Amino acid sequence: MRVAFLASEAGPYAKTGGLADVAGSLPKHLAKAGAEVKVFMPLYREVRSKGLPLLRASADLSFDWHDGPAVFSVWEEPTAKATVYFIEKNDYFERDGLYGPPSGDFPDNGERFAFFSRAVLESLRVLDFSPDVLHLHDWQTALVPAYLKFVYAEDPFFRKAKTLFTIHNLAYQGLFDREILGRIGLPPRLFHPEALEFYGRVSFLKAGLLYASALSTVSPKYSREIQTPEFGCGLDGLLRMRSGVLTGILNGADYAAWNPAGDAALARTYSAEDLDGKAACKSALLSAFGLPPLPRDLPVFGLVSRLAQQKGLDILLEAAGGLFGLGLRLVLLGQGEAGIEDGLKAAAARYPSFFGLRIAFDDGLARRIFAGSDMVLIPSRYEPCGLTQMYALKYGAVPVVRATGGLDDTIQEYDPKTGAGNGLKFAEAEPSAMIKSVRRAIALYSRKTDWMTLVRNGMACDFSWDKPAAEYLALYRALA
Ligand code: ADP
Ligand code: GLC
């Protein structure tokens, strides 16, 4: 099984969110399960800054682009477990930020990622890697099935290639003006509601949804939700039409990278068998955020998130008075939309002894938050999968989540009668519902036997990649 895996971000090279975790770890597990996988991503400034020993795999490739031949190179990471290739095109990718500054987009993102998609197809030929499956992720690579259908239809090299398009987030659609079709080498007739037009604009996402051989999302629940008007972002009709080829495969967690027993970022390591270190991580976390020590019966909550509407931080802000009235502490690490940042900063100024805020992207601090928190709060309005609840479980921080998408699939409400369950969840996206769950969590926290059962249940959860990787492989086989 020969798989070309295309993503706009992948760990440990460049990351803004969970897609990088998936694209950095799933290919290794596919390779372990026997697939031959080549990962492709852009050579961003951020990748270069890592100083990796990259080797040039191919230079001076070119294809016709709107302003003449587009010339680019392909670099290879020789130490990676699954082969990783980087597409070098400095005028598109040698910039600060992957998609734009923290709170915005580059104006030429459509062109940048259309170029990337085309460049990978051209690279495959030069690398003589004729894939059985091209596995594509989100709008940035969604044009690949359109290029295969409208540009490479007669090309024997791609005759056998099937495509799997994975939706990590339906709300990010890659919408651009009509004129872009001419600039990216696709026929203008695709500007049509039954093709790529979406309410007067060109939707890259639609190319994936319409033309990929199969579709998947990153949790079973989200695969059902997106077929409803509430979660369908205007595309639920199309998704219902394609429901026969749409499945949900829950993401995995890479426990080689996310394990409190071997995490060098922590003040002290610990495990389910020996939790002593977790208390040290908690004190270190409170002092890192300048928060006073807590009475024994009160917990610290953590939250690590992109600051986007999706994440329900408005619900958190509305609930702030009620939450801090309970005496708990909250530490939050995030970066993103300016409006949300401002709201959080105002709350941090108002509740300085309860709420610690860091506006940044900081992987080490994210880990210290999972380790030092008793609980994590995840109030998402929607969540295709969510990885922070999985990491929190492994680090012994109990998730209190909104029951949506992958959060609902991974978290089972704790039942004190049976001792089963790994967290707490609330259904309505309302401050009152959130506060009710938080109150229940604090009550459990004060009953140490229940609490330790809940923490240990979570640490014992196994979301490793072996099962999802096998599911992807079965899906590839069904296609090829
Ligand atoms: P999403 O992909 O929607 O952002 P996920 O829960 O799937 O949500 O994944 C988020 C990933 O990004 C996790 O690995 C999380 O730890 C990380 N992350 C998010 N924000 C930050 C931040 N400000 N600093 C460090 N890591 C972050
Ligand atoms: C998206 C989703 C998130 C998911 C991640 C990885 O960014 O918002 O829920 O976990 O992709 O699939």
Q: HEC states along 392-433?
A: HHHCCCEEEEECCHHHHHHCCECECCCCECCEEEECCCCHHH
> Which of 3.90.180.10, 3.40.50.720, 3.10.20.30, 3.40.50.2000 would CATH assign to domain 276-460?
3.40.50.2000
φ/ψ of residue 384, rounded to 5: -50, -50
DSSP state of 232: S
Q: Which of 138, 220, 219 is nearest to 173 (CA)?
A: 138
Q: Checking DSSP bridges between strand 133-137 and strand 162-167, what pairing results, if any?
A: parallel
* Ligand 1: residue whose CA is nearest its atom 12: 17
**Cβ neighbourhood burial of 449 (10 Å; 0-12, 13-18, 19+):** exposed
φ/ψ of residue 308, rounded to 5: -135, 155
Helix axes 466-479, 18-32, angle to 10 degrees: 70
Q: Which two tokens stand for residue 12?
A: 């440990």
- For residues 127 and 98, the answer to whether their CB atoms sit within 8 Å is no
**Separation CA 355–CA 363 (nearest Å):** 20
Whether ligand 2 lies within 6 angstroms of the CB of 24 is answered as no
β-strand partners of 63: 70
Whether ligand 2 lies within 6 angstroms of the CB of 249 is answered as no
* Ligand 1: residue whose CA is nearest its atom 19: 305
Tell me: the pLDDT tens digits for 358-378?
999 999 999 999 999 999 999
3-class secondary structure per residue, 137-155: ECHHHCCHHHHHHHCCCCC
Whether ligand 2 lies within 6 angstroms of the CB of 22 is answered as yes
Q: Checking DSSP bridges between strand 300-307 and strand 329-336, what pairing results, if any?
A: parallel
Q: Which helix (H) or strand (E) holds 332?
A: strand 329-336
Q: Does the global pTM surpass 0.85?
A: yes
List where CATH 3.40.50.2000 sits in the chain: 2-252+465-479, 276-460
DSSP state of 360: S
Token pair 């895996």 is at which residue?
A: 5
Q: Which of 377, 386, 357 is nearest to 315 (CA)?
A: 377
Q: Which of 13, 40, 8, 46 is nearest to 27 (CA)?
A: 40
* Predicted pLDDT at 374: 98
Report the residue among 387, 389, 411 best suited for mutation to probe ligand 2: largest number of ligand atoms under 8 A from its CB.
Answer: 387
The residues, ordered by sequence, that sit 6+ positions from 96 with a Cβ below 8 Å of its Cβ are 45
For residue 440, the CA-to-ligand 2 centroid distance in Å is 28
Collect the ranges in the chain with pLDDT lower than 50. none
3-class secondary structure per residue, 110-130: HHHHHHHHHHHHHHHHHCCCC
**Separation CA 84–CA 76 (nearest Å):** 6
Q: Which of 365, 382, 385, 139 is nearest to 267 (CA)?
A: 365
Which atom of ligand 2 has the smallest separation from the CA of 19? 6
Radius of gyration of the chain (CA): 23
User: Residues for the chain: how many in total?
Assistant: 480
For residue 21, the CA-to-ligand 1 centroid distance in Å is 9
Q: Which helix (H) or strand (E) holds 468?
A: helix 466-479
For residue 308, the CA-to-ligand 1 centroid distance in Å is 11
List the alpha helices (DSSP H) in 127-203. 144-150, 180-183
Q: What single letter denotes the amino acid at residue 213?
A: S
**Separation CA 60–CA 74 (nearest Å):** 9
For residue 387, the CA-to-ligand 2 centroid distance in Å is 7
Which atom of ligand 2 has the smallest separation from the CA of 383? 9
Pocket lined around ligand 1, Cβ cut-off 6 Å: 17-19, 21, 304-306, 333-335, 361-363, 366, 385-388
Whether ligand 2 lies within 6 angstroms of the CB of 386 is answered as yes
Q: Which CATH superfamily is domain 2-252+465-479 in?
A: Glycogen Phosphorylase B; (3.40.50.2000)
- For residues 357 and 269, the answer to whether their CB atoms sit within 8 Å is no
**Cβ neighbourhood burial of 284 (10 Å; 0-12, 13-18, 19+):** middle
